[in-house]
């Protein structure tokens, strides 16, 4: 599923900021999925962080695995309405989300779009005219970092830290406590960007 809220032609460059959703924008529901707006809770500082990121003239794109649809725990309509609700909340606060790309498949399908595979990023790159090596991927899990690093994105890991086997420094990944801190790091990185390290991974 993809939802586009802005005209890709409004952004003449080839950069973008990719955000994971659960654990980056909103609190995870442990052992379950965020199924409705009623159980969607923004993490502290996220509204302010996205408003700050919105001052940068690049698209802000959410990429997220949402297997709850394939598992029958929520409908595509539920997910669409939830997405409209949180993007409207950002807009009311002076921020923006330009598009959202979801993988709805069951993990057993081993589809190309479910992170840590990079299908969602590649699709967004085609539709928004992006050079993925100039883009940023911000996530809270190993799968987010692998998806971004495998196509050359600069990556920022937020939250509790990576799996012990995930050598984020070797991949050029940096870490942040939350999206607010990631926003500060991103703004600094965009002013002094270095070529990213490509991650070679077989999935």
Residues with catalytic function: 20, 22
Query: What is the CB neighbour count within 10 angstroms for residue 50?
Result: 26
The encoded tokens of residue 9 equal 């032609």
Please say whether the beta carbons of 96 and 61 come within 8 A: no
| Coil, helix or strand at residue 17 | strand
Task: Give the CA diameter of the chain.
Answer: 45
Q: By C-alpha distance, which of 148, 125, 159 is closest to 196?
A: 148
Please say whether the beta carbons of 65 and 142 come within 8 A: no
């Amino acid at each position: 599923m993809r939802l586009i809220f802005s005209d890709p032609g409004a952004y003449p460059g080839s950069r973008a900021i990719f955000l994971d959703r659960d654990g980056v924008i909103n609190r995870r529901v442990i052992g379950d999925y965020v199924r409705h707006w009623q159980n969607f809770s923004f993490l502290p500082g996220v509204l302010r962080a996205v408003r700050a990121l919105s001052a940068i003239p690049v698209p802000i794109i959410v990429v997220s695995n949402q297997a709850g649809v394939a598992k029958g725990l929520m409908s595509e309509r539920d997910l669409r309405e939830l997405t409209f609700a949180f993007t409207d909340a950002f807009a009311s606060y002076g921020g923006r989300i330009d598009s959202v790309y979801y993988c709805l498949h069951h993990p057993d399908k081993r589809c190309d779009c479910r992170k840590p595979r990079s299908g969602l990023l590649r699709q967004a790159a085609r539709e928004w005219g992006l050079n993925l090596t100039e883009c940023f991927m911000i996530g809270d899990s190993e799968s987010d970092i692998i998806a971004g690093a495998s196509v050359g994105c600069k990556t920022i890991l937020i939250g509790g830290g990576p799996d012990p086997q995930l050598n984020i420094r070797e991949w050029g990944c940096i870490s942040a406590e939350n999206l607010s801190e990631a926003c500060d790091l991103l703004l600094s990185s965009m002013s002094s960007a270095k070529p990213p390290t490509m991650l070679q991974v077989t999935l």
